[in-house]
Chain A
Amino acid sequence: MQKFLRKNAPAYVFLAPWLIGFFLLAIFPILASLYLSFTQYDVVRPPEWVGIENYQYMFEFDYRFWKSMQVTFTFVVISVPAKLIFALAVAMLLDKGIRAVGWYRALFYLPSILGGSIAVAILWRQLFDYNGVINSVLRFFGGDGPYWLSDPRYSLWTLIVLAVWQFGSPMLIFLAGLRAIPQDLYEAAEIDAAGPARKFFAITVPLLAPVIFFNLVLQMIEAFKSFSGAFIISGGTGAPLDSLLFFTVYLFNEAFSYFRMGYASALGWVLLLIIAAFTAIAFWTSKYWVHYENERG
């Protein structure tokens, strides 16, 4: 023990700031929220133990919980594939060796840096406002746009477009993946008279599978956790008609509008379990469609 300390103490001293942050700001709140999820806690009075009542209520009575699940799943199921397809398409275009490709890369990455910010969500609201830019353009061409944001048939789509627009980081990862595919495979395919579609499905997709898988998992988790866009555009409530009631927005409302911190903590843990389950499913299916080049088998 003495020896261990003498040898490693300086390392722990230097690690201390990070370790303290990790335990104080990550582990402790996580455990606290697990405890709170079994209590009724209105912030001012101390938490009161209620067992699994919060979870019971959620699954049996809370129709807004189910509504928020429906909204969140719709968002994930549509926005994630759309974003990945778009990111891959742009990456393949940039991979062609156009001039000033560095500029384009930076330009396309820009939305990803800005996208999660409050400012962009507010800008988005202006763009899709009834008298906003989108409808002005439509009117210029003789059409008439709908009320994008206050009509529940369209509101979620504005957020899906916002999500797809932030395709920068999966694009960069795809680009790196594309660069790693040996060119001689394509040359060999061309000699065998393979067309672009054939080359794409027979070479690009299989060799890119690990990268696609990585992006899929990452984007899926991000989509489940998506918050700020829906919060700003719906004015914090999930309006209109709960069509923007993302799981996270509902959680926020339960916690900060109605003081049900215990219930909100339970919601948070359910979200964690959902994300974990879907990540596990993705990993399980990956056995069947993701192959690593250096695998021996």
Chain B
Amino acid sequence: MSRLTRRRFIGTAAGAATLAAFGRPAFAQDRTRIRHFWWGNPDRDERTFRVIEIFNQKHPDIEVVGETLGFADYFTRLTTQIAGGNMADAIQMGYGVMFEYIQRGAILPLDDHVGSTLDLTQIDESALQAGTVDGKLYALSIGANSHMAMYNTRLYEEAGITSGDGFDPYGWTYDDVKRIGVAVKEATGVAGTDDNTADYQNFSDFVGQKGAELYKADGTYGVTQEIVEEYWTIWKDIRDAGATPPGPASAGLVGAEMAQWGIITGQSATSYAWSNQLVGAQELMQDTLGAAMYPNTPEMIPGSIVQPSQFICLSRDTVDAQATTTYMDAFVNDPEMTAVLGLERGIPANSQVREALVPTLEGAQALSVEFFDNIQGKTMALPPPPPSGANEVEQTFERIAVGVLLDQVSIADAAADFLRQAEAILRRAS
């Protein structure tokens, strides 16, 4: 062994560094590695990872790697990945935000792959329509949803309330919510319903129920002062009757993840969400959940929509569009994979998949299908995609509504403030 000189040491170190930098092991090249990124919950994550495993076994030339985050963090991560140019190949999108990403060019059109790697012959026309912008298809629907009120059947029964007996889950009013909520509270001590004062989803339903629309054709905000005031007054009335948790408690839950919902924590007997979330929520509960539409006014003008709410998209940063669209195709068509996915992301857009699934379903998944059968004809038409800035308008609504929940501002002032800010946001975004 020769003496270790300084020069020799530097030479060896530099050599080792070069090796580390360029000496990639050869076996990494065998399979095309693509990434799938979605937002989820524990149940969805488990299903999706199982599906990826199935796909990888069937396709020896492709290796799919899954990445998942909660909804709140998902878009933050996605934004940093867009800036860094390293988005996953296949990304999950929602109907509300998708169009901003398409307009900005973060998502690639799929038309070139239709007929080769993508087989869309079994996909519902309405689902394809929802993913199309300016005649180009950008997104594959992986589940249709609607707004759903989920209630704890045990607590409802203890208060003597059963479906059909003074409670029509597919046609109840805000007055019913108040009456039932108070009854549940008196019988069980648990607040009968969540307080939706700061829930934009319920608010957007209410706007439809009043015959108005959130956004006019020219992209301006279509809601009037009267509608906002009436909405907050209705919920204040329900809150003052004692049917909801106290205002400050609800203020702390704005934008909460599933695990913090009133029905899950036992703070209330009814929570309001997306219909597909019934499956994940039931997984976190012991009592059985019931499904109802969002409440309506006595006029019963439809306000909820059935919308293909979750999509899988091909990102601008994909390393291999061929392999990625092959995976996307399997995600919506492969019988084995769709059987594992079930209805957890919503009702599948592939008619054959639906037919194969329905007889096998039980529990919350069966209830989801029943819910969809029952809301037929009670929903309104899908409005055009929301304009840029819609997301910020939604968050502004939630922020200002907290002042109403805490009784720190009058409903009239809060409504005027919200509309003024909504207009300003939309002007700035356009």
Contacts and interface: CB of A to CB of B under 8 A. Distances in A.
B106 interface: yes
B72 A147 contact: no
B350 to A, nearest CB: 30
Interface in B375-430: 391-392, 395, 398-399, 402-403, 406, 408, 424
Interface string A74-112: 000000000000000000000000000000000000000
A43 B251 contact: no
A12 interface: no
Contacts of B252: 130, 147, 149-150, 240
Interface stretch (A160-168, A253-261, A271-279, A288-296): A253-261
Nearest to B248: A147
B255 A261 contact: no
Interface stretch (B74-82, B160-168, B208-216, B319-327): B74-82
14 contacts: A43-B104, A130-B248, A130-B249, A152-B408, A235-B254, A235-B256, A237-B255, A239-B254, A239-B255, A239-B398, A241-B402, A241-B406, A258-B392, A259-B100
B15 interface: no
Contact of A259 (B79, B249, B256): B79
Q: What class of interface size applies to chain B in its complex with A?
A: 20 to 34
Nearest to B103: A44
Given A130-B249, A150-B251, A151-B406, A242 B399 contact: yes
Contacts of A236: 72
A250 B101 CA distance: 22
B42 interface: no
Interface of A: 10, 13, 42-45, 61, 130, 146-147, 149-152, 235-237, 239-242, 255-259, 261
A235 B256 CA distance: 8
B151 to A, nearest CB: 22
B26 interface: no
A259 B106 CA distance: 13
B79 A240 contact: no
Contacts of A258: 391-392
A42 B104 contact: yes
Given A150-B248, A239-B254, A256 B104 contact: no
B298 interface: no
Chain A: interface secondary structure?
loop
Contacts of A255: 79
B19 interface: no
A-B interface, 5 closest residue pairs, ranked by CB to CB distance from nearest: A150-B252, A147-B248, A44-B104, A150-B251, A256-B76
B21 interface: no
Contact of B82 (A43, A130, A151, A239): A43
A61 B6 CA distance: 63
A257 B399 contact: no
A152 B392 CA distance: 22
A191 B255 CA distance: 65
Contacts of B104: 42-45, 259
Nearest to A129: B252
A43 B316 CA distance: 13
A146 B251 CA distance: 13
